[in-house]
Structure 1
Amino acid sequence: MDLNGKVVYITGGTKGIGLGVAQSLLQQGMKVAISGRSDESVSKTLASLGNTANVLGIKADVTRIKDEEAAVEEILKTWGRLDVVLANAGVGHFAPIDEMSDDKWHQMIDINLNGVFHTLKASVEALKKSEGYYMTLASLAGTNFFASGAGYNATKFGVVGFTQAAMLDLRKYNIKVTTIMPGSVATHFNNNEPSEKDAWKIQPEDIGELVIDLLKMHPRTLPSKIEVRPTRPDLK
């Protein structure tokens, strides 16, 4: 794919991995739409990206299909096409299952799992027209379970299964579908404040580089599921 002028939509694009990917794709000449759940976060991100004609900020909640449909409609109205979608929005709550609250369980299901379906459902017809690319941001927690991770594991195992099945459904339309499964990433996830202590972790721009590599791969070849982890864990 020649990336110059192509259009990407990134959910949860106001910080962390989503923002890192947005910055990387802008440098490739792409037109980038990012969404977030608050006007404040979207406005702040637009300012950091330069408020150029190649950036569009949208307030949208992935747990609501109508929000995602409106986001895609705004992108098409602005740029007339949609080539790439990265379903990146996610949240994590960690506790032993007997201590996990009903509210936190359902929030993870609604954002992490229902959200990727809503984003694909809203964008799939546009992706058919462009023969585009749909990516989900899963996690190594989608294949490796751990104590206090039952809710998060459930959603990320679900995202991996959903994305792989969607890949089989959509490749007949020449739509590529990939799930990316990172390990530790230096972001604000789980109330972390990124600093020098996170230098050993994957950086958001590293995921941006990975996305670019996927987009530039020959159309005949599809890496459908990618595990990516720090080269060396923090040994201290």
Structure 2
Amino acid sequence: MQNIEGKVAYITGGTKGIGFGIAKALVENGVKVAISGRNLADAEKAKHQLGNQHVLAIQSDVRNYEDEVKAVDQIIASFGRLDIVIANAGLGKFAPIDELSLEDWNAMIETNLNGVFHTMKATVEALKVSKGYYISIASLAGTNFFANGAGYNASKFGVVGFTQAAMLDLRNYDIKCSTIMPGSVTSHFNEHQPNEEDGWKIQPTDIGQMVVDLLRMNPNVLPSKIEVRPTKTK
């Protein structure tokens, strides 16, 4: 089992939901964590909630490659290295294809797909140095299409394909790449407000524990694509 204490992680969209759940699990296991969000105030609030001095709050919009480059520079300046990258930032807009707006289509592609590439592009050289781990948070929508989901499906199918191909490219540098594909998760996704009726769903901390388990796994083993569902449906 790999020791992850003292490692440095960067989580995009780490201010709430799955990203925050992952940050919490990593902090509890001794990992130094940088969390980013489009709004610095939200990132600072999440940092305070995590209550750990080894947490760095960063403003970054993953749609802008330059923001991600600056984020990596901040992480290296603060912690000296980067070992783990969690490309988590994402959003969903759902409508029949004849009603899906250009704005909503572009927002999903730019955030969910371009953002994953921007994060990879900005961090890959640091990961080569640390022989690190890149994990994208996709969705079961990355292999299962559904009505009203054309734009979201397209972005998440892209994330799955991108991460799997990147895994083949980067394994030669001893960089691991995995994509996690959750089903229903209790989160703020699509402007949902978590409530007691969400108890049947996967919890953000469950995804956090999954990330910890991946990072601790024997270095000779690579679960490159992980589908995870609630045990029961509502």
What band does the TM-score fall into relative to the shorter chain?
over 0.9
Task: Give CA deviations for 1:119-140 in whole Å, capped at 9, x if unaligned.
Answer: 0000000000000000000000
1:181-220 residue pairs with structure 2 within 5 A? 181-220=181-220
Count of aligned pairs? 233
SS in 2 for 1:199: helix
Can you give the 5+ residue segments of structure 1 that lack an aligned partner in the other structure? none
4+ residue segments displaced more than 3 Å: none
Tell me the residue number matched to 1:24. Answer: 25
The CA distance in 2 between the partners of 1:5 and 1:233, in whole Å, is 38
**Aligned partner letter, 1:36:** G
Tell me the residue number matched to 1:176. Answer: 176
The CA distance in 2 between the partners of 1:233 and 1:213, in whole Å, is 25
**Aligned partner letter, 1:45:** A
Tell me the residue number matched to 1:78. Answer: 78
Q: CA deviation at 1:43?
A: 1.8
1:9-158 residue pairs with structure 2 within 5 A? 9-50=10-51, 52-158=52-158
SS in 1 for 2:214: helix
**Aligned partner letter, 1:225:** K
**Aligned partner letter, 1:133:** Y
Task: Give CA deviations for 1:12-59 in whole Å, capped at 9, x if unaligned.
Answer: 000000000000000000000000001221121111111x32100000
The two structures, once aligned, show a CA RMSD in angstroms of 0.6
SS in 1 for 2:152: helix
The CA distance in 1 between the partners of 2:171 and 2:55, in whole Å, is 29
SS in 2 for 1:227: strand
TM-score w.r.t. length of structure 2:
0.99
The CA distance in 1 between the partners of 2:163 and 2:148, in whole Å, is 24
Q: CA deviation at 1:218?
A: 0.2
SS in 1 for 2:200: coil
The CA distance in 1 between the partners of 2:134 and 2:41, in whole Å, is 27
The CA distance in 1 between the partners of 2:43 and 2:75, in whole Å, is 15
Q: CA deviation at 1:166?
A: 0.1
SS in 2 for 1:66: helix
SS in 2 for 1:29: coil
The CA distance in 1 between the partners of 2:65 and 2:23, in whole Å, is 23
SS in 1 for 2:10: strand
Q: CA deviation at 1:181?
A: 0.1
Task: Give CA deviations for 1:72-112 in whole Å, capped at 9, x if unaligned.
Answer: 01100111110000000000000000000100100000000
SS in 1 for 2:62: coil
The CA distance in 2 between the partners of 1:219 and 1:79, in whole Å, is 23
The CA distance in 1 between the partners of 2:53 and 2:77, in whole Å, is 14
TM-score w.r.t. length of structure 1:
0.98
The CA distance in 1 between the partners of 2:48 and 2:27, in whole Å, is 14
